[in-house]
Structure 1
Amino acid sequence: MTVDTSSAGDAEVGAGAEHLAAAVAAGESVLSRRFGSPITLVSPEDLAGSGPATVVRARVVSSSFALPRTLVIKHYPDEPEPGAADPFAQEAVSYQLFTALSADERMCPELLAHDGRDRVLVLEDLGRTATLEDKLYARDSRAAERALLSWARSLGRLHASTAGREADFNALLRRLGGPGRSDHGVVDELCARVPGLIQERLGIPVPEAVREEVAHAVEQSRSAAFRAFSPVELSPDNNLVTGEGVRFLDFEYGRVRSALVDAANLRLPFASWPDALALPAGMSEAMIAAWRAEVAGVWPAFADDEALAGHLTTSELLRVWLITGEELGALDLSHHAPPVSRESALVTWWRDLAKHAGYVRMTAVSEFSSKVAAALAARLGPHADLAFYPAFR
């Protein structure tokens, strides 16, 4: 029996074209209202956004205004669930916050127009430039190193330029009617889950001193100190490497939180990204130095080496703890792990945490982390070390 799938395929293609057309129409509508004259967009190109938005690059063909030749449109056709955070509102407010800054402080594309009724944003098009992911997976170690340092500097500049602007962000969010995002419930649940998981899967009890350090790490992440805007999604595919430095994209989860939560990525590079790999010796320290050079003027406490190391290690502990809560239960510990697996990642991150905690005299955390790393390695084999990104192999 032959099954005719052409109608299903045609429907899928049609639905895609329909979403593109809706995004272009919404973009034309908001631009025409913004500038008071009809503006036509043509040649839509699907940029395949990973979130709920339809993302389109389109060319401007009829405009009496000094608009760029091409624009990027992000259209959110679906309303959020009642009471849920609205990704459109989060992203619109995030871009508004940056558009109010000077060009050299804006670490993202400029917001040209937006509309809450059409749920659409029109953004500056940064062009067909490489992402940070492209640099990490190419074979040019120097280019990858430059891109990582640029990313760290841009992250620091993003934090420094938005420090003290939480009230502005919240006011803009209220204007769009969006409730703010909070991960407090998820974090608390994950933190509570980890001791049982480690006991069950590795046979290691969690000492009370370690639990207290984790509780302190949670408090630091929620502290009123060092708060600034965070894109939250810091995956390297969300960062464009431009001639003016790395620029951040995708603020669907954007919010104000402790900058130290983001800074954990300087120790655990892009750990929440499923494809995260390792960096060579010294790279993390160089990235921390680049980030600190941008934020120390705003937060002088970070100019002190010992204080900064303590803060970063506490953030690193929380990041490793949460990832363990998310992933340890599902990992296969019954066979040797390849060096590009999440199993190997967890071994490497616990081992690195043990080293960094030892440097700052967090003795209980250092000893416990060494035990966890050793127990994982004993189950996963002698080669359970996370591989470098291809650029550094």
Structure 2
Amino acid sequence: MTVDTSSTGDAGVGAGAEQLAVAAAVAAGESVLSRRFGSPITLVAPEDLAGSGPATVVRARVVSSSFALPRTLVIKHYPDQPAAGADPFAQEAVSYQLFTALSPDERMCPELLAHDGRDRVLVLEDLGRTPTLEDKLYARDSRAAERALLSWARSLGRLHANTAGREADFNALLRRLGGPAKSDSGGVDELCARVPSLIQERLGIPVPDEVRAQVTAALEQSRSAGFRAFSPVELSPDNNLVTGQGVRFLDFEYGCVRSALVDAAHLRLPFASWPDALALPAGMSEAMIAAWRAEVVGIWPAFADDEVLATHLTASELLRVWLITGEELGALNLSRHAAPVSREAAFVTWWRDLAKHAGYVRMTAVPEFAARVAAALAARLGPHADLAFYPAFR
């Protein structure tokens, strides 16, 4: 007998592995819920939500029970132990615990309903089939995209305001769960130190000592005790749901407490760490900054002063551009004309905007240097090296 194998192979094996992962997630979810409520709870109709991180993410329906559980839940299951360093399960579990202790109006994320360190599973409130911020940016409705971006900025500000002063709580929860302390500064000093030689090598531009000093000051600002609050770290638009109550944040696998100004740099460089980052129209960034400031100024009154806020934001912008340059400049293709949606075009726009903003706050040597970097990049990449807008604003 000849066996027809044309319909089997890697795809079938992959599908089988996914089904096993979904089944394991459901079983872990049922186990932690049953222990949490003291009676068997059955989950049915699982839907793989295809999480991009190390967790299997599943939506499942709750079979009717006597408990006040929602009809559907989201399960995040981390089947593998971390190799070394920070544990994404512990980071996420502690992040959700921190928010679940707040009132619903202060939460800015789904509620954590149950979790278990042995099974490495989280059971979360299901916010439903809600569009993401990415969906809004890639749709063709500019007003809806604008509303979503302002909601995102307000939610980010509320997230910072509601978690300011809670670093000790976060660290205590992390110790209780057995997770090592998470630092967002690993390798940053070395990366910063590599940037001058990288810019010299790729663009032929020496970095003045005054610019290096400004970068050092920006790095010190990012590590200072002031303005510290919880950060999701991963601020990609696909990690944010646009709900009727405002934007809600997802995926806290890298969550930590750090300077809120590190996140606020994304108000100047929208979603720059996201590989698909594009540009926003004139005035949009300023409107987002105003929305964020309105939420945090009660906690940090210094930001009521326009000059103080602009100086701090520009320092954060400088550090963000500097670090991304260290991470990516070596891999950029500077030998061809850049498409408006390319990472190369993003670098031209980011350095050009940094020059403008640094000039506004009279930051020593940075405006001239940033303008030189932007011009050198543009000269290599051609006349169309300006970053395109997101589709919603074209």
Give the CA deviation at 1:106.
0.4
Letter in 2 for 1:139: R
Contact 1:139 1:390 in 2 (8 A): yes
C-alpha contact (below 8 Å) 2:45/2:61 kept by paired residues = yes
Q: Which amino acid in the other structure matches residue 285 of structure 1?
A: E
Q: How far did residue 7 of structure 1 move? A: 4.0
Looking at structure 1, the residues matched to 22 and 325 of structure 2 have their Cα atoms a distance apart, in angstroms, of: 39
- Code of the aligned partner of 1:19: A
Q: Distance in 1 between matches of 2:13 and 2:201?
A: 48
Letter of the 1:343 counterpart: E
Determine the C-alpha separation between the residues in 1 that align with 2:189 and 2:23: 42
State whether structure 2 residue 33 is matched by structure 1 residue 31: yes
Return the alpha-carbon distance in structure 2 between the equivalents of residues 337 and 219 of structure 1.
34
Partner secondary structure for residue 62 of structure 1: coil
In structure 1, which of residues 12, 17, 38 is the aligned counterpart of residue 19 of structure 2?
Answer: 17
- CA distance, structure 2, for counterparts of residue 230 and residue 9 of structure 1: 37
1:196 paired residue number: 197
Q: Which residue of 1 aligns with 2:259?
A: 258
Deviation for aligned residue 1:331: 0.5
Tell me, yes or no, if the aligned pair for 2:210 and 2:364 is still in contact at 8 Å. no
Report deviation, 1:64: 1.0
Q: Kindly tell me: are residues 65 and 3 of structure 1, through their superposed partners in 2, closer, same or farther at Cα, counting changes over 3 Å?
A: closer
Quick one: distance in 1 between partners of 2:384 and 2:224? 39
Mapping of residues 371-386 of structure 1, within 5 Å: 371-386=372-387
Residue by residue over 1:62-90, the C-alpha shift from the partner in whole angstroms, topping out at 9 and shown as x without a partner, is: 321110000000000000114x1000000
Deviation at 1:12, TM superposition (A): 1.6
Pairing of 1:45-56 with structure 2 (within 5 A): 45-56=47-58
Aligned to 1:79: 81
Task: Tell me by how many angstroms 1:187 deviates.
Answer: 1.0
Instruction: Specify the alignment match of 1:211 in structure 2.
Output: 212
User: Is the Cα contact below 8 Å between 1:165 and 1:228 reproduced in 2?
Assistant: yes
Paired with 1:41 and 1:88, the residues of 2 have a C-alpha distance of 22
* AA partner of residue 59 (structure 1): R
**SS at structure 2 position matched to 1:79:** coil
Partners of 2:10 and 2:347 lie apart in 1 by 42
Offset of residue 170 of structure 1: 0.1
Local SS of the residue matching 1:241: strand
Shift of 1:311: 0.2
Q: Distance in 2 between matches of 1:141 and 1:124?
A: 30
> CA–CA distance in 2 between the matches of 1:182 and 1:307?
27
**Which structure 1 residue ranges, 4+ long, deviate > 4 Å from structure 2?**
2-5
1:41 to 35, 40, 43: 43
Give per-residue Cα distances to partners, 1:188-224, cap 9 Å, x unaligned.
Answer: 1210111001000111000000000000011011111
Sequence identity (%): 86
Which letter does structure 1 place at the counterpart of 2:148?
A
| Contact 1:233/1:253 (<8 A) preserved | yes
Residue in structure 2 matched with residue 267 of structure 1 by the alignment: 268
Q: Per-residue CA shift, 1:33-73, capped at 9, x if unaligned?
A: 00011100000000000000000000001321110000000
1:261 aligned partner, one-letter code: V
Query: How far apart, CA to CA, are the structure 2 residues paired with 1:8 and 1:272?
Result: 32
What secondary structure, in the 3-state scheme, does the structure 2 residue paired with 1:6 have? coil
Whole-angstrom distance in 1 between the partners of 2:5 and 2:116: 44
2:30, 2:42 within 8 Å by CA — same for their partners in 1? yes
Task: Say if 2:184 and 2:258, in contact at 8 Å, map to a contact too.
Answer: no
Which residue of the partner structure matches residue 172 of structure 1? Answer: 173
Distance 2:9 2:350 in 1: 49
Residue 352 (structure 2) pairs with residue 329 (structure 1):
no
Aligned to 2:146: 145
Q: Secondary structure at the match of 2:272?
A: coil
Q: CA deviation at 1:10?
A: 2.6
Distance across 1 between alignment mates of 2:72 and 2:137: 28
Which runs of structure 2 are paired with 1:1-393 in the superposition (5 Å)?
A: 6-82=8-84, 84-393=85-394
Counterpart contact for 1:41–1:62, Cα < 8 Å? no
Shift of 1:9: 3.0
The amino acid of 2:264's aligned partner reads A
Instruction: Give the C-alpha shift of residue 3 in structure 1.
Output: 7.7
Assess if the C-alpha contact under 8 Å between 2:184 and 2:256 holds in 1: no
Single out whichever of 4-13 and 172-181 deviates more from structure 2.
4-13
Q: CA deviation at 1:182?
A: 1.8
**One-letter amino acid of the counterpart of residue 244, structure 2:** G
User: TM-score, structure 1 length as denominator?
Assistant: 0.98
Contact between 1:339 and 1:385, CA under 8 Å: does it hold in 2?
A: yes
> Residue 383 of structure 1: CA displacement?
1.3
Instruction: Say if 2:43 and 2:63, in contact at 8 Å, map to a contact too.
Output: yes
**Contact 1:132/1:147, CA 8 A, preserved across alignment:** yes
